[in-house]
Amino acid sequence: MDEAKQKSGKSEEQSQQKPKAQLDAEFSELYREHLRDIYSYSYYRIGNHHDAEDLTEQTFLQAYRHFERAQRESQGRPLRPWLIRIAHNLAANLYRDRARKPATPIDESTTLIAPHTTEQLVEGREELTRVLGGVQRLPEDRREALIMRFALGMDNREIARALGRSDGATKVLIHRAVKQLEGLVSYSGGEDPNE
């Protein structure tokens, strides 16, 4: 009798789980839909193509490990905020690890390849540099919110889920971030006007 209950218990548990082929197909679709968003987020967060690629890969590897549970817990809501949260946590770990072990500086004998000098690349470069510099000087939560909103096109509800905040708090956060960034970009001096 106990064997029958154990067998029926196993079959109930197995019937609740999706077949691996179905999970893999669903994850592949999630990957295709959100690869660009996760890479963009990673790039804006880290500022380096190689690290952004690594962070993107790590994000999807971790997401794959927990995909089935995430599907159940999402109750049909989009999984993009969940993916962004994974990337956010991995980026925070990367920064923490780098703070413990600083990179080796480039010595004077190292030759660097000069960037392209076409007119198209130069046009607007100064303004872009000011904007990106301003974004980097924002507090982390404001920087995160702006990257999600403007680089990834996420709506306030998705950002709220990714940051673990209420919709109202997220709206205020984005508003304050935009105002602070406007001040940083329009300020011609080298220091933050809000300090």
Give the CATH number of the domain where residue 81 resides: 1.10.1740.10
Same domain? 98 vs 137: no
The one-letter amino acid code at 64 reads Y
Do 126 and 176 lie in a common domain?
Answer: yes
Does 182 lie in the same domain as 146?
Answer: yes
pTM of the model: 0.58
Query: Are 37 and 91 within one domain?
Result: yes
**Domain presence at residue 13:** no
Say yes or no: 89 and 138 in one domain: no
Residue, of 110 and 156, whose pLDDT is higher: 156
* 108 in any annotated domain: no
Q: Which domain holds residue 36?
A: 19-102
Q: What is the 3-state secondary structure (H, E, C) of the chain?
A: CHHHHHHHHHHHHHHHCCCHHHHHHHHHHHHHHHHHHHHHHHHHHHCCHHHHHHHHHHHHHHHHHCHHHHHHHHCCCCCHHHHHHHHHHHHHHHHHHHHHCCCCCCCCCCCCCCCCCCHHHHCCHHHHHHHHHHHHHCCHHHHHHHHHHHHCCCCHHHHHHHHCCCHHHHHHHHHHHHHHHHHHHHCCCCCCCCC
Domain membership flag for residue 14: no
89 and 24 part of one domain = yes
In a domain, 192, yes or no: no
Verify that 86 and 133 share a domain, yes or no.
no
User: What are the pLDDT digits (tens) for 109-127?
Assistant: 545 454 544 555 555 566 7
Is the model's pLDDT at 9 over the cut of 70?
no
Residue 3 in any domain: the answer is: no
In a domain, 23, yes or no: yes
Q: Given this model, what pLDDT does residue 55 score?
A: 92
Residue 10 lies in a domain: no
> pLDDT per residue over 28-41, tens digit each?
999 999 999 999 99
Q: In this structure, are 69 and 97 located in the same domain?
A: yes
Residues 77 and 127 in one domain: no
Look at residue 191 in the predicted model and tell me its pLDDT. Answer: 47
Same domain membership, residue 159 and residue 127:
yes
Query: Worst-scoring range by mean pLDDT, 71-85, 114-128, 134-148?
Result: 114-128
- 56 part of a folded domain: yes
Number of domains the chain is built from: 2
CATH of the domain at 132: 1.10.10.10
User: Does 126 lie in the same domain as 98?
Assistant: no
Mark whether 60 and 95 lie in a shared domain.
Answer: yes
